[in-house]
């Protein structure tokens, strides 16, 4: 479910909108971020490839069992590090620059694009779908003592 969500929402909806609206508007306002924006767009493409690798590794683990677990775990850790690094760059460089440089008209366009995001689990009700997914995931994660759900 988590891989499905990552593929359907961040990869197919959120990242293309960052490229098409937020990053494009920033390029209109400055050329100083060109290198960083190109790197982030490249990371969006790399992220898609990593999700495909994760799906293959998960399938291999489901078919082969414990002998394929370490490879899957290593890919999960690789993806998590990659994604945190990507988000850090956006949050520490791109978003502060956007706050400084984008005009009210830019924000109207960017806000409208992101307001139209859909949630593959709940149609237009993004928040409700995410909460349901969160609860589902939390309830299947074992507690540290292995005796039941984490909450
Ligand atoms: Fe991004």
Per-residue pLDDT of the chain (151 residues; tens, 9 = 90+): 788 778 777 777 788 899 999 999 999 999 999 999 999 999 999 999 999 999 999 999 999 999 999 999 999 999 999 999 999 999 999 999 999 999 999 999 999 988 866 655 545 454 556 567 667 766 777 776 655 554 4
CA distance 53 to 35: 27
CA of 48 to the centre of ligand 1 (A): 11
CA of 71 to the centre of ligand 1 (A): 25
CA of 23 to the centre of ligand 1 (A): 10
Q: Which two tokens stand for residue 85?
A: 């690094």
What pLDDT is attached to residue 62?
93
User: Closest Cα partner for 40 from 18, 57, 59, 63?
Assistant: 18
CA distance 139 to 148: 8
Each residue of 41-78: b (16+ CB within 10 Å) or e? eebbeebbebbeebeebbeebeeeeeebeeebeebbee
pTM above 0.85, yes or no: no
What pLDDT is attached to residue 124?
46
CA of 18 to the centre of ligand 1 (A): 6
Whether residue 47 contacts residue 100, with contact meaning beta carbons closer than 8 Å, is answered with no
CA of 1 to the centre of ligand 1 (A): 21
Whether residue 70 contacts residue 64, with contact meaning beta carbons closer than 8 Å, is answered with no
The conformation of residue 17, written as its DSSP 8-state character, comes to H
What residues does the ion ligand 1 have nearby, CB within 5 Å? 18
What phi and psi values does residue 134 have, to the nearest 5 degrees? Answer: -55, -50
């Amino acid at each position: 479910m988590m891989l499905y969500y990552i593929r359907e929402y961040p990869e197919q909806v959120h990242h293309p909108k960052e490229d098409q609206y937020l990053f494009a508007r920033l390029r209109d306002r400055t050329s100083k971020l060109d290198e960083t924006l190109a790197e982030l767009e490249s990371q969006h493409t790399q992220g898609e490839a990593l999700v495909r690798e994760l799906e293959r590794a998960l399938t291999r683990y489901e078919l082969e069992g414990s002998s394929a677990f370490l490879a899957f775990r290593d890919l999960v850790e690789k993806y998590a590090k990659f994604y945190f690094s990507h988000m850090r760059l956006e949050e520490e460089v791109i978003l502060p620059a956007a706050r400084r440089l984008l005009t009210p008209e830019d924000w109207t366009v960017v806000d409208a694009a992101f307001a139209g995001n859909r949630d593959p689990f709940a149609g237009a009700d993004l928040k409700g779908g995410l909460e349901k997914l969160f609860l589902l995931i939390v309830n299947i994660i074992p507690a540290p003592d292995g005796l039941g759900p984490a909450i």
